[in-house]
Amino acid sequence: MQLVKIYDLGDLEVLNRYTNSGPISDFCVINKPGGRRKILMCDGTREMSFLESSKKTPQIISVWSLKSFAFEANHTYLILQTLDLVVIVYALVDNTFVDRSDMMNGFKYGVTTVYYQLCSYRQFAQVCTEGSVRLLNSKTGVLKHSWNPGSPISCASATNKQILLAIGNHLVYLEVGVGQLIEHKRVQLDRDIDCLDISPLGCENLYFSQLAAVGTWKETKFRFVRFQG
């Protein structure tokens, strides 16, 4: 696996190379003395499989790149989530990523985050599994609104003006306004929700999606749910 930099004229520069031990069939996280954590991974297949111990800092598990507004050419922020539930926010300044975690006070730190999204009106949305959706100014990082369903959120998907959440076997549909999150609809399914996607299809309005694709546990199919019209 390689980390590459893409230049304006399409040239590529390899910045780093990483060993690919995949496929990873299973893994677990082990707590170590002193607050450290260690990952044990079962790598490879059949006779070529082996148990590998990987200890890295800061142990990144999720990454998001965000623009500060919709029509910006480049991504401004890089957000990292670690195993220790630390959220690290980097801003791109003169082609260098600078830690801006202390300036983005509207983000909730120390919790697992399942989704970040740049929304309309220059706002960021942060969806936390412990049961909150936070809306903050994308430039100053100031919290503008917090919406709490009262139950854990398992997964989420969003467009610039819509946020779709999975809470057990319920879908919750929100719309993004200026400094506010508005709940418009709830749909109950017959099974707990495993994954979902509300990305616009084809030439549809890029800010609104008519349909959401939803997958549930113990099924080998997905269904479409309509929220608009």
pTM of the predicted model over 0.85 = no
CB-count exposure of residue 103 (10 Å: 0-12, 13-18, 19+)? middle
**Six token digits for residue 11:** 């040239």
Which is more confident, 109 or 91? 109
Give 203 or 75, the one with higher predicted confidence: 75
Q: Token pair of 185, please?
A: 């609809």
Domains of the chain, first to last:
1-56 (no CATH), 57-226 (2.130.10.10)
Comparing 152 with 82, the larger pLDDT belongs to 152
Residues 139-168 have a mean pLDDT of 95
Mean per-residue pLDDT for 105-116?
91
List phi, psi (to 5°) of 132: -160, 150
The pLDDT of residue 43 is 55
Beta bridge partners of 137: 123
Q: According to the model, what pLDDT value does residue 142 have? A: 96
Range 10-32 average pLDDT:
65
- Do the Cβ atoms of 87 and 102 come closer than 8 Å? no
At 169, the amino acid letter reads N
> What's the pLDDT score for residue 49?
43
- pLDDT (0 to 100) of residue 201: 79
What distance in Å separates the CA atoms of residue 108 and residue 86, rounded to the nearest whole number? Answer: 10
**What pLDDT shows up at residue 21?**
59
* DSSP single-letter state for residue 218: T
**How confident is the model at residue 53, as a pLDDT?**
46
